[in-house]
Amino acid sequence: MSTVLIVGSGGREHAVARKLRENPSIGMIYILPGNAGIARDSECAPIECVNISATDLDGIESFAKDRDVDFAVVTPDDPLCMGLVDRLEGIEIPAFGPTRAAALIEGSKSFAKDLMRRYDIPTAAYQIFDRVGDALDYIRRSPLPVVIKADGLALGKGVVVAQSLNEAEEAIRACMLDNRFGAAGQRVVVEEFLQGIEASLLLFSDGEHYRLMPAAMDHKRAFDGDSGPNTGGMGTIAPHPMVTPDELNRIEREIVQPTLAAMREEGRPFKGCLFVGLMLTSGGPKVIEYNCRFGDPEAQSVLALLDSDLFDIMIAVHDGTLDKADVRFSGGAACCVVAASGGYPGEYRKGLPIKPEDFSLLTKQLKDVKIDCAGVAYSADGSGGLITSGGRVLGVTATAGTLPDAISRAYTAIDEISFQGMRYRADIGTRTLESALAEAVHG
Ligand code: AMP
Ligand code: GLY
């Protein structure tokens, strides 16, 4: 039996843990740090959440050695960019995820942009700045809107789409003078604004071979109709209705293959899950960003459609045998709706009791529904009940033969869950349904 360690604590890690559990050769799963919702999920058992932070590389390394971990799965950006996979491989613990050198594709936007420029991969036009005066001069001459990005990791908050010169100047000053993102914002990328439809394409890569997952659509804005501030993601659907087979072919040819080849060429072969954030523009698909990991909540939708064994795939990614691996997805559709704390992504209250006490009854009753916990903790009264502890509290993911059915199943399920101030978007996937409908009507 294999002992597996998962690093991370969100809904994405919950989905990964549940999917790994389908492999009968896995014994114990340790998740560092995990959360109470994962610890309590019988579909993940036996699983133990261990209170070691995902960025405590020393702690993770010594825990893994101590417990004779056979395989590690690292999914969050921070530990990947800090080199956790290199550390684990260094003590002969095989791990799923890119090395530090390959994770730079997410860890430095200027690295990613220069890579795309060198290898002719379509992306927004850009300039890189290390001096605030130069950046300010440049944006004063740029058309609006203009996009300002902190170079390094900034908890998903490092991007500003500025509609006015004032907003653009404020974003640059916040990054470069006020150090809002610390060292991550000392360098900024100023980018052309791309118009179009966004898509998230995730793929497995062993450095040499790759296998695509169904494209997903994230809903990043906090409120219905894509309004309000940016969030980590309020819901996803997969497959993405606008990524047709022809479009996917083009993305593979113009973006996926050249990116993986470029990383090999640069001596940074990418192993793990590569996330390509795309804008489908009138001039063809363009890269908005790369992430070196599964998206959250993209993983919840996409992994719900995976028919094959995730552990076998992860081992093949590690071993470089992905060309021989069984990687199949169901022909159906998935929808994930995130329940967030009132106020998120701004200030919000924590410690609010979540109902029902036991999700397993709910998921038994409702067909093809999974609940992935993120900002969830045990209540302090020792009852074993769950309380809120974060902005994105949980996600409900449903699968069905068709997208409308998946959406309606997800909403039926989320209506059974409640906590004070709970908020979710009521329009996950519906905009795409409307445009598909319009296309059908107008040809
Ligand atoms: P990121 O944090 O890099 O995922 O960016 C957050 C969001 O900003 C993206 O999901 C897009 O909606 C938007 N964005 C980033 N870059 C651009 C761009 N060049 N043009 C238009 N929108 C962008
Ligand atoms: N949902 C977007 C991300 O994981 O970065």
Same domain, 170 and 247: no
Q: Give the tens place of pLDDT for each residue, 148-193.
A: 999 999 877 789 999 999 999 999 999 998 888 888 878 999 999 9
Last residue of a domain, one of 97, 113, 144: 97
Ligand 1: lining residues by beta carbon, under 6 Å: 124, 147, 156, 159, 161, 191, 193-194, 198, 220, 230, 277, 288-289
Whether 113 is in a domain gets the answer no
Same domain, 153 and 6: no
State the pLDDT at residue 438.
63
Whether 105 is in a domain gets the answer no
Same domain, 165 and 202: no
Rounded average pLDDT over 337-359: 96
Give the residue, out of 105, 116, 159, with the most ligand 1 atoms within 8 A of its beta carbon, to mutate for a pocket test: 159
Structural domain of 246: 197-442
Q: How far is the CA of 289 from the centre of ligand 1 (A)?
A: 8
428 residue type, one letter: I
Same domain, 215 and 325: yes
Q: How confident is the model at residue 443 (pLDDT cuts 50, 70, 90)?
A: very low
Ligand nearest, relative to CA of residue 299: 2
State the pLDDT at residue 114.
97
CATH number for the domain spanning 90: value is 3.40.50.20
* H or E element in which residue 135 lies: helix 132-140
Q: How many domains does the chain have?
A: 3
**pTM over 0.85, yes/no:** yes
Q: How far is the CA of 280 from the centre of ligand 1 (A)?
A: 12
92 residue type, one letter: E
Same domain, 234 and 374: yes
Whether 288 is in a domain gets the answer yes
Same domain, 163 and 215: no
Crossing angle of helices 109-118 and 257-265, in 10° steps, is 100
Closest approach atom of ligand 2 to CA 218: 1
Contacts of 38 (CB under 8 A, 6+ apart): 13, 14, 17, 31, 44, 47, 49, 373
Same domain, 54 and 131: no
Same domain, 166 and 231: no
Same domain, 140 and 214: no
Q: Which residue has the tokens 């199949």?
A: 328
Q: How far is the CA of 112 from the centre of ligand 1 (A)?
A: 14
Same domain, 159 and 11: no
Last residue of a domain, one of 157, 175, 192: 192
Evaluate if residue 433 carries a pLDDT over 80: no
Last residue of a domain, one of 153, 177, 192: 192
Q: Which of 230-234, 267-271, 361-365 has the highest mean pLDDT?
A: 267-271
Closest approach atom of ligand 2 to CA 298: 1
Give which of 199, 184, 208, 190 is closest to 147, Cα–Cα. Answer: 190
Closest approach atom of ligand 2 to CA 156: 5
Whether 38 is in a domain gets the answer yes
Same domain, 390 and 367: yes
Instruction: Let me know: does 27 contact 46? Beta carbons within 8 Å.
Output: yes
CATH number for the domain spanning 170: value is 3.30.1490.20
Same domain, 286 and 394: yes
DSSP 415: T
Whether 116 is in a domain gets the answer no
Which residue's alpha carbon is at the smallest distance from atom 3 of ligand 2? 295
Crossing angle of helices 11-20 and 310-319, in 10° steps, is 100
Q: Which residue has the tokens 């579909």?
A: 43
Give the residue, out of 218, 290, 301, with the most ligand 2 atoms within 8 A of its beta carbon, to mutate for a pocket test: 218
Higher pLDDT, 114 or 433: 114
Report how far residue 392's alpha carbon sits from residue 234's, in angstroms, rounded to the nearest whole number.
8
